């Protein structure tokens, strides 16, 4: 399937921002396409699988941090403890921005025939 398969996976990952389930479909397709692929396509698919697991880690971590904040300072109470809720929300928001930028850079890379990341960050994708 080659480059078009990788672009489908990128599209499913980007659709994650609108529907959460498309990320799961994207990683399944990435795992299926990864075995027969070689070269640049395989590098992109490996990167996409890694991004999936990073995303899962950030979602679980943000949820755990949010739960810890909830147990520390329940909603509806007043006080400076309410500011604690900004921490998991901020971490999750920053992660989503980083993820979107990584996906856009990856799409540009596959269209140009390059790897998923610029040369200086290539070690992260291997």
Give the model's pLDDT for residue 65: 85
- Report phi then psi at 10, rounded to 5: -60, -40
Report which of residues 84 and 40 the model is more confident about: 40
Flag whether pLDDT at 47 surpasses 80: yes
pLDDT band for position 120 (cuts 50, 70, 90): low
Model-level pTM? 0.83
Flag whether pLDDT at 80 surpasses 80: no
3-state secondary structure the chain: CHHHHHHHHHHHHHHCCCCCHHHHHHHHHHHHHHCCCCHHHHHHHHHHHHHHHHHHHHHHHHHHHHHHHHHHCCCCCCCHHHHHHHHHHHHHHHHHHHHHHHHHHHHHHHHHCCCCCCHHHHHHHC
Q: Return mean pLDDT, the chain.
A: 85
């Amino acid at each position: 399937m080659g480059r078009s398969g990788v672009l489908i996976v990128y599209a499913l990952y980007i659709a994650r921002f609108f529907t959460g389930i498309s990320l799961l479909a994207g990683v399944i397709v990435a795992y299926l396409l990864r075995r027969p692929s070689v070269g640049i396509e395989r590098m992109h698919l490996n990167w996409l699988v890694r991004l999936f697991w990073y995303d899962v880690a950030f979602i679980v971590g943000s949820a755990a941090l949010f739960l810890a904040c909830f147990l520390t300072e329940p909603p509806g109470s007043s006080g400076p403890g309410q500011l604690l809720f900004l921490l998991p929300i901020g971490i999750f928001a920053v992660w989503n921005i980083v993820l979107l930028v990584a996906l856009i850079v990856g799409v540009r890379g596959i269209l140009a025939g390059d790897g998923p990341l610029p040369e200086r960050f290539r070690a992260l994708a291997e």
